[in-house]
Amino acid sequence: MSEYMALYRKYRPAVFSDVVGQDHITRVLRSEVMQDSVSHAYLFCGSRGTGKTTCAKILAKAANCLQPIDGDPCGVCERCRAFETTFDIVEMDAASHNGVDNIRELQDKISFLPIEMKRRVYIIDEVHMLSPGAFNALLKTLEEPPSHVMFILATTESHKIPATILSRCKRFDFHRINTDDITKRLEYVSEKEGIEIERDALKLISLLATGAMRDALSMLELFVGGKGITREIAEKSLGVVGNEIVLKLLRFIADRNAAGALETIADSYNSSKDPAVLCSELGNMLRNLLIMKCASGSVSSLIDECADVIETLRNVEDKFTPERLLYCTEIVEDTVSRLARTGLSRRTVLEMMAMRLCDSRLSTSTEALLERISSLEARPVSVSVSSAAPEQAKKEQTSAKEENVPPVPDDAPPFDFDDVPMPTDPPPIAGEPELPKPLGSDETKAKPADENIPEMIAYGDVLEEIKAKNMILYSMLTDSRGYLDGDVMTVKVSSMAIFMIGADPIMKQTVTECASKILGYAVTVNIVEDGGDSKGKKNDDFPMF
């Protein structure tokens, strides 16, 4: 019985034409082999699983092949057959051989001629792990190696490579492999291995691989020998939350249905789905929605999802503004960070996320404020405040007072109006209108602005009523000042408070309702900015927010 070999090793390309998704590199390398112009040093950069080491081995074999075919190694000559066992092809892991001594040992050996091959090839993987001293030791050798030596360096973090090394190598950047190319390769491997798996399941594997062919083949290996593998089976085997739960949660968030979102999270938690994976997949769906909102024309090249998922996203797209999507993305990202360091249960963190996603008023971030403003701009709300006739309210209060006034005795002396002291306040300055007195001040208690106002009512009573209804609004009005003139109440606030309250008609309506309740009749509220020394008043008379 033959020894089992992992799929990514078994189906590793042997020629450039089998390399998937890197045509811009394989075309140049094949041309160099055909023209016998292979360089002495190469640098292959790119993310994991994109074919760096594979191309390095193919290039090393092709450069030593006796009869290359269109730039590919023939695979039948004695050098190609001896490639896997020869001592002339040296693979070095810089992660574990990153010291100066390792490079000096390499330098001592490169002067010897190859035994079986035309060139001695050194393939150094993860070269960015070399120490600064090792890089310095490699410089001169890399710049002018013997004619029979070739270096191929591979790295996933090219920014860590010193500029002196980069300038001595011919650089190639490997791209992430797109999902369609990965899916086609998985179909080929599945057919060869006899794996009965649906295309949707292969597409899921391609999405999860994030451009790495090796990762995709490693995931496909879970289903070797499987029959009738569907997307649902693949989701359970791969530990994926699944589109059904994520899209269901997204629909509840779109409708601002916190109860439904909490039930969905409970179902996911009871099914032992990983909260971090749920956040990751929800963030990906929000990203897809943002692409739909901002990208013009077809987005099929930007969104790697099935047709039914894209259709669902189209149905909820109109319920999100770009500002809300940015806010939701920020909340999801914050939740991922909290899951890694919180002392609360992971379920509690997810539930907090769901409530904040459904109601931006629960967040104090700048993104939350922008989301609320954008929602108001998209769906303007007209607020109409019903104002009953002040005369009617005056009559009702007058009749109520008369019911509690004791009757005047018949023998009571007549009231002498001459004994009533006249007010001694100085007349108002000419040319400047007199500002109504603040509610609850001594002057309004002695002489109300309107006879229908109860004597002891103060603006502080209105604030207490607002505090009971909306704590956030109360905090904005803590240092405000209210003035009453008949059935019109003017509230002077800071510039920041007037910006936030003016952008939210609901807040102004709340002030109107609370003031009307305390005063006993309907009033009209005007929210104005505190001008400081306006109308002849001093700055101290009008405290800022």
Residue 398 has pLDDT above 50, yes or no: yes
Dig out the tokens for 70 from the structure. Answer: 């269109």
185 and 317 inside one domain: no
**319-355 b/e (C-beta count within 10 Å ≥ 16 → b):** ebbebbbbbbbbbbebbbebbeeeeeebeebbbbbbb
First to last CA, the chain: 83
Residue 472 within a domain = yes
- Residue 492 shares a structural domain with residue 451: yes
Query: What number is the average pLDDT over the span 361-374?
Result: 77
Q: Does residue 143 share a domain with residue 23?
A: yes
Q: What is the pLDDT of residue 452?
A: 43
Residues 487 and 446 grouped into a single domain: yes
pLDDT at 450 over 70: no
User: If you average pLDDT over every residue of the chain, what do you get?
Assistant: 80
* Residue 520: per-residue pLDDT: 82
Does one domain contain both 25 and 164? yes
| CATH classification at residue 474 | 3.30.300.180
Stretch 88-110: mean pLDDT: 89
Domain that holds residue 227: 179-238
Mean pLDDT, residues 519-525: 85
DSSP 536: G
> Coil, helix or strand for 465?
helix
The CATH number of residue 353's host domain is: 1.20.272.10
Indicate whether 416 belongs to any domain.
Answer: no
- Residue 430 domain-assigned (yes or no): no
Is residue 125 helix, strand or coil?
strand
Alpha carbons 470 and 500: distance in angstroms, whole number: 14
Q: Which of 366-375, 408-417, 464-473 has the lowest mean pLDDT?
A: 408-417
The pLDDT score that the predictor gives to residue 392 is: 55
Q: Is residue 59 part of a domain?
A: yes
Residues 210 and 313 in one domain: no
Mark whether 234 and 266 lie in a shared domain: no
- Which one of 141, 157, 173 terminates a domain? 173
Instruction: List, for residues 14-26, the tens digit of each pLDDT value.
Output: 999 899 989 999 9
Q: Tell me: the pLDDT tens digits for 169-223?
A: 999 999 999 888 999 999 999 998 888 999 888 988 988 888 899 999 999 998 8
pLDDT at 1: 52
- Say how many domains are in the chain: 4
Are 61 and 18 in a shared domain? yes
Which pLDDT score, from 0 to 100, does residue 539 have?
35
Q: Which residues pair with 485 in a beta bridge?
A: 488
Residue 66 structure tokens = 């006796």
Residues 62 and 202 in one domain: no
Asked if 54 and 98 sit in the same domain, the reply is yes
Which of 141, 173, 205 terminates a domain? The answer is 173
pLDDT band at 123 (very low <50, low <70, confident <90, very high): very high
Residue 192 shares a structural domain with residue 261: no
Burial 534-544 (b: 16+ CB within 10 A, else e): eeeeeeebbee
Higher per-residue pLDDT: 253 or 243: 253
Say if 411 falls within a structural domain. Answer: no
Residue 175 DSSP label: P
Give the C-alpha distances (Å, rounded to integers) separating 407 from 397, 398, 403.
Answer: 18, 15, 10
Judge whether residue 431 has pLDDT over 80.
no
Residues 352 and 473 both lie in one domain: no
Q: What pLDDT score does 189 carry?
A: 92
CATH number of the domain to which 154 belongs: 3.40.50.300
Instruction: Write the CATH number for 201.
Output: 1.10.8
pLDDT at position 541 over 80: no
Of 453 and 348, the structure prediction assigns the larger pLDDT to: 348
Interval 142-154 mean pLDDT = 90
DSSP sequence for 364-433: -SHHHHHHHHHHHHHS----------HHHHHHHHHHHHHHHSPPPPTTPPPP-GGGSPPP-PPPPPTTSP
- Please tell me the pTM assigned to this model: 0.60
pLDDT number for residue 440: 47
- 431 domain-assigned: no
Return the DSSP state at 324: H
DSSP E strands in 28-119: the ranges are 41-45, 89-93
Domain boundary among the residues 127, 153, 173 is at 173
Which strands, in side-by-side order, build the sheet including 488-493?
Answer: 481-485, 488-493, 524-529
The answer to whether position 269 is within a domain reads yes
In a domain, 429, yes or no: no
Task: Give pLDDT tens digits for 271-307.
Answer: 888 888 889 889 989 998 888 888 766 666 777 777 7
